[in-house]
A and B are shown apart, each in its own frame.
Chain A
Amino acid sequence: MISINIYRYNPEKDQFPYMQTYKFEQPKRDIMVLELLNQLKEKDPTISYRRSCREGVCGSDGMNINGKNGLACITPLSSVH
């Protein structure tokens, strides 16, 4: 199992943003960070993020991943874990 911390904030309920930890089974093949988020969202549909082309062209899923800015769809999990 690997742990993923996701920055969460629901302005209707939360006074401040916070980190939420999710456990995730280590995938057998290397996947992109976006695919990891998609799989986590299937379990917790309240997770929200932007995404569109999923191939590194449109720029929607720009995010801060382990302190570095990048596109989740072209960032392999192996490069950050």
Chain B
Amino acid sequence: MDLNDTPQQAEYRAKVRSWLEEHKHEAPVLQGEGAIEDEHEAVEAHRAWQRKLAEAGLTGVTWPTEYGGQGLGPLEQVIVNQEISRAGVPGILDAIGVGMLGPTIIAHGTEEQKQRYLAAMLHGDEVWCQLFSEPAAGSDLAGIQSRAKPQDDGSWVLNGQKVWTTNAQFASFGLLLARTDPDVPKHKGLTMFIVPMDAEGVTVRGLRQITGDAEFNEVFFDDVALDPDLVVGPVNGGWGTALTTLMFERLTIGGGGEGMGYRADRFARALASDPAAVRDPEVRKRFGELATDLLALRFTGYRILTALQRGQIPGPEAGMGKVTVVNAAVAAGDLIADVIGPDAFSLDDEWNYLISFLPGLKSAGGTEEILRNTVGERVLGLPPEPRLDKGIPFSELRDKEREAAGASA
């Protein structure tokens, strides 16, 4: 076992580090003391920073070179992430686009789409958002109801609503999953579209969360006209396209919660500043247990990276890391609030934010329950639960559901 870089990786790391050393004074301050307060200003400063990172070859590290990427492996991407975090500067503005949506377009898009969208995405000139989840379809993503109807001229008209959409308030485009054929079973009637966020009929509304901030949005579509060249991948083959995005999502999250700041050493510092807490056996026990989980996550991350380096794609078991990190972070927030007392909920306190943010994170990127189902079935080989929707046209599903609800009532 060896956690060291290979000579080539060490050379790459040194190159990245020296660029960041030289340019980190140009990075905007987005969090903590001296942070830019105005949201629009902050976005523009962040966008400019992404452009600089892109010009230095530090975005889209794993993208093919013909689309402006570096054509390197996932480990080089990790090296860039580590060095950015070490330098204490923000990463890119559009991590969702560059990490998940761009790779989907690279895998399924037409050559024209790639030429039109990818470079502007990479440089942050056009930010993207992911329009998958809906109020009534999250875990059961294939149950989405947003409807795109084909027109005689080959274009489409879109109606429906999406939710939990990060960055929609300043995004130029969204990658959207819509139902295009309701008369076939639900996985078979979906299509992926590119939606210009400034199109007529698109409305973005901020969605405030427990934290008080609006990090997500709701997006509404009223008779939005979509040109034929906005379809990504095959018509009615959108489920396969979406699976690609979800695979990249897993890969993005695969690195674990350390990048999100849920680290044992950070929580240790908070507790160590209170001498009475350090001596309290109950505090030590609770901290020892949650810290064990966070450490396990870091080293599971190294196992996943090893697999990636060997060209393997992380399986659904990588999703278990999310369960571990969220629960350990919840336990940490709870413990720190117990130690600090009511003052932990001061408005500008980092723990106030952490404690409020985590309950929602539990459902983000797959609820704990759906993750456990997937791992139980795909990794342990346990049989699936009987389901009502197999082989049934989407349009008949609501009636079936009502029938079932009536039967059990």
Q: Do A and B come from one complex?
A: no
B contact set with A: CB distance below 8 Å? none
